[in-house]
Structure 1
Amino acid sequence: MKVIAAYLLAALGGNASPSAEDLKKILGSVGAEIDEERIQLLLSEIKGKDLTELIASGREKLASVPSGGGGAVAFAATGAATGGGAAPAAAEAKKEEKVEEKEESDDVSFLLLN
């Protein structure tokens, strides 16, 4: 991830095609370990490809990855069915959801008032 972050920083800085030396400078400036193999691998994989297209493709792939609260709900249902103490956990989860919804609505009303 460090190498990818360095590449993206170089690209955001206006360097359309960062070199290995550019990435080494960025990584060295923050005291990060420089892994020549990973730098070369990244540069060989993205050579000739458009960065915005790569990011868009990555977003599409991440959209299919499950994330967030589904596991907690499944665990609570399983625990309740087996007689485990999952009912308090489910109640806490519902309580947290209500608090989060209120916070979000407060944020929106603040934006609308200003």
Structure 2
Amino acid sequence: MKVVAAYLLALLGGNASPNAKDLTAILSSVGAEADKEKINFLLKELEGKDILEVLASGREKFASVPSGGGGGIVVASGGGGGGAAAAAEAPKAEEKKEEEKEESDDEMGFGLFGDDE
């Protein structure tokens, strides 16, 4: 990815046709190691192509990739429905923990409303 970024930075800098030396210089200027094989592969793949067309094509391909995000939490059950019961008890445990914390503050005399006895 850093090789692609270096290529795009060279283009943005006004270099219409970056070469391996240009990409190596950009990468070394930020302390990144330049992988000659990756640089040569990228340059070979982009040779004679318009970068805007390549980016547009990639955007189309990326748009067709499923991104997950479809719903709620999936709970694996042990066959007897125990998973659902465990999932239902999880919020209760959090509520109890919160209540205990509030009570401990009051016991220390640091109550919010100053109910000192």
Matched residues, number: 85
1:79 aligns with 2:75: yes
Q: Deviations over 1:47-87 (max 9, x none)?
A: 000000000000000001122522xx25x2x3288515179
Once the two structures are TM-superposed, the CA of residue 2 in structure 1 deviates from its matched residue by 0.5
- In structure 2, the residue matched to 1:33 is 33
Q: 1:30 to 1:4 in 2, by over 3 A?
A: same
**Distance between the aligned counterparts of 1:25 and 1:86, measured in 2?**
58
Q: 1:79 to 1:87 in 2, by over 3 A?
A: farther
- In structure 2, the residue matched to 1:99 is none
Q: 1:26 to 1:86 in 2, by over 3 A?
A: farther
- In structure 1, the residue matched to 2:22 is 22
In percent, how many aligned pairs have the same letter? Answer: 61
- In structure 2, the residue matched to 1:98 is none
Q: Deviations over 1:15-74 (max 9, x none)?
A: 11101000001000000011000000000001000000000000000001122522xx25
What root-mean-square deviation, in Å, do the aligned CA atoms of Structure 1 and Structure 2 show? 2.3
Q: 1:40 to 1:80 in 2, by over 3 A?
A: closer
| Amino acid in structure 2 at the alignment position of 1:23 | L
SS in 2 for 1:79: coil
- In structure 2, the residue matched to 1:59 is 59
Q: 1:68 to 1:61 in 2, by over 3 A?
A: same
| Amino acid in structure 1 at the alignment position of 2:87 | G
- In structure 1, the residue matched to 2:94 is none
Q: 1:88 to 1:32 in 2, by over 3 A?
A: same
| Amino acid in structure 2 at the alignment position of 1:79 | V
- Could you list the runs of 5+ residues in structure 2 that have no partner in the other structure? 78-82, 92-117
Task: Give me the TM-score of the superposition, normalised by structure 2.
Answer: 0.64
Higher helix share: 1
